[in-house]
Amino acid sequence: MIFSTKPEMATQEIQPNETLTNLKAESDTLKTKLEDERAKLHDVELHQVAEKVDGLGQFIMKTRRTLKGHGNKVLCMDWCKDKRRIVSSSQDGKVIVWDAFTTNKEHAVTMPCTWVMACAYAPSGCAVACGGLDNKCSVYPLSLDKNENLAAKKKSVAMHTNYLSACSFTNSDMQILTSSGDGTCALWDVESGQLLQSFHGHAADVLCLDLAPSETGNTFVSGGCDKKANVWDMRSGQCIQSFETHESDINSVRYYPSGDAFASGSDDATCRLYDLRADREVAIYSKESIIFGASSVDFSLSGRLLFGGYNDYTINVWDVLKGTRVSILFGHENRVSTLRLSPDGTAFCSGSWDHTLRIWA
Amino acid sequence: MTIRTLRDYGQHYRPRMACLKNVEVFVVEMQDPKSGVKGADQKLNVTIIPHVINGQDVLAWIVTKMKVTTEEAQAFGTMLVAYGYIYPLQNHRKLVLVPDSTLYRFQTPYFWPVQKWPAEDIDYAIYLARRNIRKKGMLEPYEQQHYDNLHKWMNPKWDFIVMQATEQYKANKERKKPDRVVLDCQERAYWIVHRPPRRTHSAMDYGLDRLIDPNAEEVLTFDVVRRTNIFLTQALMRSAVKSSVSLTAFVKFVTTHHNHDPFLTTPVPSNPWITDSDEFWQLNSRSVDIPTKLSVERWVLSFWELISDPRGRVDFKLFLKKEHSAENMAFYEAAEEMRWGAASAIPEKSQFIFNTFLKPGAPRWINIDGRTMGLTVKGLVVPHRYVLDAAQTHIFLLMKKDTFYRYLKSPVHKDMQKRALVPAPHVFTDAQLEANVRNRNPGISPILQWQQEEEEKAAAAVAARPIDVKAMVATNKLDRK
| Average pLDDT value for residue range B338-358 | 91
| Average pLDDT value for residue range A331-354 | 96
Residue A176 has pLDDT above 70, yes or no: yes
Q: State whether B450 and A133 contact (CB < 8 Å).
A: no
Element spanning B312, H or E: helix B310-323
B286 Cβ neighbours under 8 A, 6+ residues apart: B310, B311, B314, B453
- Give the range among A183-197, A296-310, B49-63 with minimum mean pLDDT: B49-63
Q: State whether A289 and B271 contact (CB < 8 Å).
A: no
Q: How far is CA B131 from each of CA A353, B138, B141, rounded to the nearest angstrom? A: 30, 9, 13
| Average pLDDT value for residue range A278-291 | 94
pLDDT of B68 reads 93
CA-based torsion, B71, B74, B78, B80: positive or negative: positive
Q: For B396-410, how does the pLDDT look when each residue is reduced to its tens digit (9 = 90+)?
A: 999 999 999 999 999
Q: State whether B241 and A278 contact (CB < 8 Å).
A: yes
Q: For A29-74, how does the pLDDT look when each residue is reduced to its tens digit (9 = 90+)?
A: 999 999 999 999 999 999 999 999 999 988 999 999 999 999 999 9
Q: How far is the first Cα of chain A from the last one, in angstroms, to the nearest whole number?
A: 59
State the Cα–Cα distance between residues B131 and B179, nearest whole angstrom.
Answer: 17
Q: State whether B79 and A292 contact (CB < 8 Å).
A: yes
Q: State whether B236 and A260 contact (CB < 8 Å).
A: no
State the Cα–Cα distance between residues B361 and B395, nearest whole angstrom.
Answer: 18
Q: Looking at the partner chain, which of B236, B264, B343 has a beta carbon nearest the beta carbon of A189?
A: B343
Q: What is the percent of chain B where pLDDT is above 90?
A: 49
Residue B481 has pLDDT above 70, yes or no: no
State the Cα–Cα distance between residues B454 and B460, nearest whole angstrom.
Answer: 10
Residues of A in contact with B253 (CB under 8 A): 256-258, 302-303
What 3-state DSSP class applies to A359? strand
pLDDT of B364 reads 87
Higher pLDDT, A199 or B15: A199
Q: For B153-188, how does the pLDDT look when each residue is reduced to its tens digit (9 = 90+)?
A: 888 889 999 999 999 999 988 888 888 888 988 999
- Give the range among A5-14, A23-32, A226-235, B53-62 with minimum mean pLDDT: A5-14
| Average pLDDT value for residue range A131-141 | 95
- A312–chain B Cβ distance below 8 A for any pair: yes
State the Cα–Cα distance between residues A263 and A302, nearest whole angstrom.
Answer: 14
Q: For B442-454, how does the pLDDT look when each residue is reduced to its tens digit (9 = 90+)?
A: 888 999 999 999 9
Q: How far is CA B254 from each of CA A195, A346, B261, rounded to the nearest angstrom? A: 38, 16, 9
pLDDT of B12 reads 44
pLDDT of A214 reads 75
Q: Looking at the partner chain, which of A163, A269, A359 has a beta carbon nearest the beta carbon of B273?
A: A359
Which of A 165-194 lie inside 8 A of B, CB atoms? 170-172, 174-175, 181-183, 189-192, 194
Residue of B398, B404, B392 whose CA lies nearest to B334 = B392
Is ipTM strictly over 0.85?
yes
Residue B479 has pLDDT above 80, yes or no: no
| Average pLDDT value for residue range A301-310 | 96
Q: For A217-251, how does the pLDDT look when each residue is reduced to its tens digit (9 = 90+)?
A: 789 999 999 999 999 999 999 999 999 999 999 99
Residue A108 has pLDDT above 70, yes or no: yes
| Average pLDDT value for residue range A102-130 | 95
Residue B266 buriedness (CB in 10 A; 0-12 / 13-18 / 19+): exposed
Q: For B222-262, how does the pLDDT look when each residue is reduced to its tens digit (9 = 90+)?
A: 888 888 899 999 999 988 999 999 999 999 999 999 999 99
Q: For B258-282, how does the pLDDT look when each residue is reduced to its tens digit (9 = 90+)?
A: 999 999 999 989 999 999 999 999 9
Residue B430 has pLDDT above 80, yes or no: yes
Q: Rounded mean pLDDT of chain B?
A: 87
| Average pLDDT value for residue range B381-401 | 92
pLDDT of B15 reads 53
Residue A1 — very low, low, confident or very high, per pLDDT cuts 50/70/90?
very low
Residue B5 has pLDDT above 60, yes or no: no
State the Cα–Cα distance between residues B300 and B404, nearest whole angstrom.
Answer: 9
Q: State whether A277 and B240 contact (CB < 8 Å).
A: yes
Residues of A in contact with B243 (CB under 8 A): 41-45, 275, 278, 280, 282
Residue A145 — very low, low, confident or very high, per pLDDT cuts 50/70/90?
confident
pLDDT of A313 reads 96
Q: Which of A289, A307, A322, A349 to mutate to test the interface with B (most CBs of B within 10 A)?
A: A289
Q: Which of A30, A202, A246 to mutate to test the interface with B (most CBs of B within 10 A)?
A: A30
- In this structure, are residues A210 and A262 in contact, taking their beta carbons and an 8 Å threshold? yes
Residue B425 has pLDDT above 70, yes or no: yes
Residue A137 has pLDDT above 50, yes or no: yes
- Give the range among A21-35, B157-171, B187-201, B206-220 with minimum mean pLDDT: B206-220
| Average pLDDT value for residue range A277-293 | 94
